[in-house]
């Protein structure tokens, strides 16, 4: 009698264990997502902090500093090579402004990302030898436009 | 009478305005500090995300992938050139694990930071042509030790 009761309880116990395991897997999943989102936002924070001063110089709000411009432009270009790695599928859900369209329209997203890399690379090249803001304005504008094109399409407000 | 009352109130008004101005300056200060701390933590998050997989390979927990090792080591070395810029005086106070000793012992901090740059640079160089984990283990260990030396001294638990 006791034994048969235990045997009847076995499926229920298995179901409970399955739920516990699923819950743990989900918690693991969101922890992984959280870490991936944190990494992505960190990469963009580094980009933002280096691109901002370039904008101030390009718009004339800050005096042109060739050394800083060159340094920051090189950093933005380098960070653009990390950026694509920060959009793993797992990071689709969570506290993020990255739209799900990124993963649904991967080819288009990749194209815009490539454009960001190309334009920031050209900006870094132009900054290498620039002695006045006029020599980098066009490349800065093109990079800003590349940022905007991707944000408009794939980043929530 | 009215005029003399206003004149008597003037110092009090000046005191209130001074307080308001001080409050605004402090709010501005902490906003600036917050942004600086966010930038710093972002730089270290990027370092952490790239250094972690190197540790997994160096310790044998993950198989050696020469391309990933080379790529991540280059990223860590590059980020180490940004790191020193993320410790402005304003970022001393706020939600940060950076100890005030950093700014009190700037020379020692700078030395440890330079060591991190040297060691991660050597790691990136070693990774360039490495075909096995044995060729990068020593340089990886030296970089990890450089991280630890600075964290032990200048980072709160």
Evaluate whether residue B98 is within a structural domain.
yes
Structure confidence by residue, pLDDT tens digits, B111-148 = 999 999 999 999 999 999 999 999 999 999 999 999 99
B68 vs A: CB within 8 A: no
CA distances from B40 to A33, B55, B64, B88 (A): 22, 22, 30, 10
Structure confidence by residue, pLDDT tens digits, A2-55 = 444 454 556 566 666 565 555 555 555 699 999 999 999 999 999 999 999 999
Residue A89: give its domain's CATH number: 1.20.120.10
State the pLDDT at residue B125. Answer: 98
- The 10 Å CB-count burial string (b at 16+, else e) for A19-57 is eeeeeeeeeeeeeebebbbbbbbbbbbbbbbbbebbeeb
Structure confidence by residue, pLDDT tens digits, B50-101 = 999 999 999 999 999 999 999 999 999 999 999 999 999 999 999 999 999 9
Q: Which of A35, A43, A45, A91 to mutate to test the interface with B (most CBs of B within 10 A)?
A: A45
pTM of the shown model: 0.84
Range of the domain at A102: 2-154
Evaluate whether residue B55 is within a structural domain.
yes
Tally of domains in chain B = 1
B39 vs A: CB within 8 A: yes
- The 10 Å CB-count burial string (b at 16+, else e) for B55-93 is eebbeeeeebebeebbbbbbbbbbbbebbebbbeebbbe
pLDDT, mean of residues B24-49: 88
B43 vs A: CB within 8 A: yes
Question: Model confidence at B5, in pLDDT bands (50, 70, 90)?
Answer: very low
């Amino acid at each position: 009698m006791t034994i048969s009761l235990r045997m009847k309880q076995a499926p229920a116990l298995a179901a409970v264990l399955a739920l516990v395991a699923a819950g743990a897997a989900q918690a693991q999943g969101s922890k992984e997502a959280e870490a991936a989102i944190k990494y992505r936002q960190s990469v963009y924070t580094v980009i933002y902090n280096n691109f901002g001063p370039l904008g101030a110089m390009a718009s004339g709000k800050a005096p042109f500093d060739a050394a800083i411009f060159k340094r920051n432009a090189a950093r933005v270009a380098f960070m653009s090579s990390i950026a694509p790695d920060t959009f793993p599928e797992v990071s689709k859900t969570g506290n993020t402004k990255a739209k799900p369209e990124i993963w649904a329209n991967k080819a288009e997203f990749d194209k815009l990302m490539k454009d960001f890399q190309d334009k920031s690379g050209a900006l870094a090249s132009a900054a290498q030898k620039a002695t006045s803001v006029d020599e980098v304005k066009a490349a800065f504008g093109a990079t800003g436009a590349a940022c905007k094109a991707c944000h408009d399409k794939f980043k929530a407000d």
